[in-house]
Amino acid sequence: MSRRFDPDIPSSSALDIFQPKPNILYSLEAAAHLAGVPRRSILIYYRAGLVRPVFQPPYGVMAFTEEAILAVRQIEHIRVTHGINVAWIKTIFDLLDEVERLRAEVRFLRNR
């Protein structure tokens, strides 16, 4: 039985498609296009503290790095694939950050 392509169902390699260029800032519209999400999703993720844009002077225009775009793709993948809401994704990311901080602390203490 062959599986037909359905654009509404993310594939397991969906996170590997976009290869952003380093040191480039993308507008909100470009970031949304490259991440494959509506602009509104990026704004929701920003308000939840999941994505950090760079604000461009003098008007404070939002711009996004390649890391932010990859984070949006990861968030969207988790949200769609596992049905987890933004609040739980924030909790998961906070816990992952804390685990990484503790690992760094353990490495530091072992090397003293």
Q: Is 36 left (phi over 0), alpha (psi -120 to 50) or beta?
A: left
Domain boundaries, the chain: 21-110
31-61 pLDDT per residue, tens: 999 999 999 999 999 999 999 999 877 788 8
Note down pLDDT in tens along the chain; length 112 residues: 444 444 455 555 555 555 667 788 999 999 999 999 999 999 999 999 999 999 877 788 899 999 999 999 999 999 999 999 999 999 999 999 999 999 999 999 999 8
CA 79 vs CA 10, 21, 58, 72, 104: distances in Å: 11, 25, 34, 10, 28
pTM of the model: 0.71
* CATH fold of the domain at 21-110: Multidrug-efflux Transporter Regulator; Chain: A; Domain 2 (1.10.1660)
For the chain, state the CA radius of gyration: 17
